[in-house]
Structure 1
Amino acid sequence: AAIHGCAAPPLPQWARLWPALTASLCAAAEESGAVLVMLGNLYGYGPVAGAMTEDLPLAATGPKGRVRAAAWEQARALHEAGRIRAVEVRASDFFGPGVTDGGHLAARAVPHLLKGRPVATLGDPDTAHSWTYLPDVAQAMAEIAGEERAWGRAWHVPTVSPLSVRAMVDRLAAEAGSGPVAVRRLPAAVLAVAGVFSPLLRELREVRYQFDRPFVVDCSAYEGAFAVRATPLDEQLRATVAWWRERVGA
């Protein structure tokens, strides 16, 4: 009935592997007749002023943003040609139980604060940022797959009001009972030097703008049309800390 496109190549290989992955998903959708539900992100918009809405142009200038934008444009063109049925669900940086990669907050902050260690961030730790809870992504993708009126366009996953990295770390630390945890900005020079040795850190320089200025997603279009809502933040924090505590303890 539906193909949920949630796979992604390793970040340093996006430009090389995304086109083939997208082509395969579209071919499978055309052959099977299944609805193609693509999981997208916000890279395709590039730097913007103000909250991001689905009607913004896909105007990314970096290779990762361009390749993500091209993936959806390919699927949408096939949808408009009547060859497939496609829809894209876009999430901001996601976190939650089970997330150990793919999110700046998810992979570093919680295991560090559980041990009382400082948390490093790419940009301004006090600028507003949207964080999307992974179970809400799954709920939205499942709902959209069965809503024919949703197909042919992109939708933003219901997401709670933005919080800065520092505010999120403070909330997570309070939930964990670990006491205050320092949040330190990673200097650009350090990131540049580290990028020489780490392909992942080298790639993150392209999206640093997401943490140097407000990075806020507007999900009002989805909430005005469909039933899924963002999980209350307290529940998100409780489930995330509990999952990480069990994992770190093990």
Structure 2
Amino acid sequence: MGKHVVVGSGQVGTHLATKLLAQGHEVTVVTRSGNGPAGATRVAADVADRRRLTEITAGADTLYNCVNPQYHRWLTDWPPMAESFLATAEATGAVLVILGNLYPYGPVTGPMTEDLPLASTSPKAQVRAKIWVDALAAHEAGRIRVTEVRGSDYFGPGATDQSYLGDRFLAPLRAGKTIQVPWPTDMPHSWTYLPDVADALIVAGADERAWGRPWHVPTTDPVSFRQLGERMAAILGKPAPRMVQLPWPLVRTLGLFSPMLGELRHVRYQFVAPYVLDSSEFQETFGVRPTPLDVALKATLAS
């Protein structure tokens, strides 16, 4: 069994650490507050402190970057943390596994594959793109071993209130009330199941075929908000829910008072046209399939 350092104990980091522990690994979870699942060594530290992170990671096989600053703080928070991860991976020899996302691709036509250019002109997406570009350059120079795993919008047990399929969606669904969503209700969209994200991170960290390039998390076929609501209602034995889209001017106005809602303008393109993630290369290379959607929805509702 190996030693793994998981930085971040949010909706992905917690699943990842729990799965690694269940496999019998030694797991250290690093957060600013010292939180983490039972069984892990929990350490409170500033991730941007490269000396401290290097000290914690010494002797580890794998270092997982699962941190996620608040979206409106990406420009200030990400650069020093990314530099710390690179320095730590180089100093310790641990494989660096980065939890990425699809933002750097920007608007695309057709399914997203890993060979797409990181062409977004959004400053926040460019910050994320630079994390990977710098890490890949260090890998190609022989300084580190690295891979990045990218998924679409998350759902599942442990999803935070930032998830579009979190409590704001599930609470009215369970109560038989109207579900309000900020985007078109019938647009196909890829949704990535949180336990599948953790599984993909573990595979990518352990298999050298994954190193030196990005991968997409195994993800099921795209479905709309309405289709998700109908399928979950059927699981609960309830009639199909009523669903309405909030007017975009209202969302923009609410964004004046909520930093999270204010940032939605940067991702609007992802929901007003089909947003499709192609994860076939990961599935074919590593023989890993996404959790069937109805199984994932049942687990989401049960949580």
Deviations 1:133-187 (A, max 9, x none): 0000111110111111110100000001110111111111222234322221121
Q: What does residue 179 of structure 1 align with?
A: 239
Deviations 1:208-244 (A, max 9, x none): 111100000001111120022101111101100000x
Q: Could you tell me which of 196, 204, 219 is aligned with 1:159?
A: 219
Q: Could you tell me which of 125, 141, 145 is aligned with 1:81?
A: 141
Alignment of 1:8-87 (within 5 A): 8-87=68-147
Q: Could you tell me which of 151, 160, 174 is aligned with 1:100?
A: 160
Q: What does residue 282 of structure 2 align with?
A: 222
Task: Give the 3 Å change call, closer, same or farther, for CA 117–62 of structure 1 in structure 2.
Answer: farther
Q: Aligned-residue CA RMSD in angstroms?
A: 1.2
TM-score, normalising length: structure 2? 0.78
Comparing 126-135 with 14-23, greater Cα deviation is found at 14-23
Structure with bigger RCO (C-alpha 8 Å, 6+ apart): 1
Could you list the structure 1 runs, at least 4 aligned residues long, displaced by more than 4 angstroms after superposition: none
Query: C-alpha distance in 1, partners of 2:175/2:81?
Result: 38
Q: Could you tell me which of 143, 149, 162 is aligned with 2:203?
A: 143
Q: Secondary structure at the match of 2:166?
A: helix
| Structure showing the higher helix proportion among its residues | 1
Q: What does residue 131 of structure 1 align with?
A: 191
Does the CA-based 8 Å contact 1:11-1:203 persist in structure 2? yes
Query: C-alpha distance in 2, partners of 1:102/1:23?
Result: 26
Q: Secondary structure at the match of 2:165?
A: helix
Query: C-alpha distance in 2, partners of 1:17/1:158?
Result: 29
Comparing 176-185 with 201-210, greater Cα deviation is found at 176-185
Return the letter of the residue paired with 2:105: Y
Q: Does 1:194 align with 2:277?
A: no
Structure showing greater Rg: 2
Q: Secondary structure at the match of 2:86?
A: helix
Q: What does residue 270 of structure 2 align with?
A: 210
Q: Shift of residue 107 of structure 1?
A: 4.4
Does the CA-based 8 Å contact 1:122-1:211 persist in structure 2? no
Query: C-alpha distance in 2, partners of 1:26/1:186?
Result: 42
Q: Secondary structure at the match of 1:39?
A: strand
Q: Shift of residue 125 of structure 1?
A: 1.2
Q: What does residue 246 of structure 1 align with?
A: none
Unaligned 5+ segments in structure 1 are 244-250
Q: Shift of residue 102 of structure 1?
A: 4.0
TM-score, normalising length: structure 1? 0.93
Query: C-alpha distance in 1, partners of 2:78/2:105?
Result: 17
Does the CA-based 8 Å contact 1:127-1:164 persist in structure 2? yes
Counting aligned pairs with the same residue, the percent is: 51
Return the letter of the residue paired with 2:98: M
Does the CA-based 8 Å contact 1:93-1:102 persist in structure 2? no
Query: C-alpha distance in 1, partners of 2:117/2:141?
Result: 21
Query: C-alpha distance in 2, partners of 1:65/1:164?
Result: 24
Query: C-alpha distance in 2, partners of 1:121/1:186?
Result: 6
Query: C-alpha distance in 2, partners of 1:56/1:168?
Result: 28
Query: C-alpha distance in 1, partners of 2:162/2:79?
Result: 19
Does the CA-based 8 Å contact 1:143-1:228 persist in structure 2? no
Task: Give the 3 Å change call, closer, same or farther, for CA 122–31 of structure 1 in structure 2.
Answer: same
Query: C-alpha distance in 1, partners of 2:239/2:190?
Result: 24
Query: C-alpha distance in 1, partners of 2:281/2:130?
Result: 23
Q: Secondary structure at the match of 2:192?
A: strand
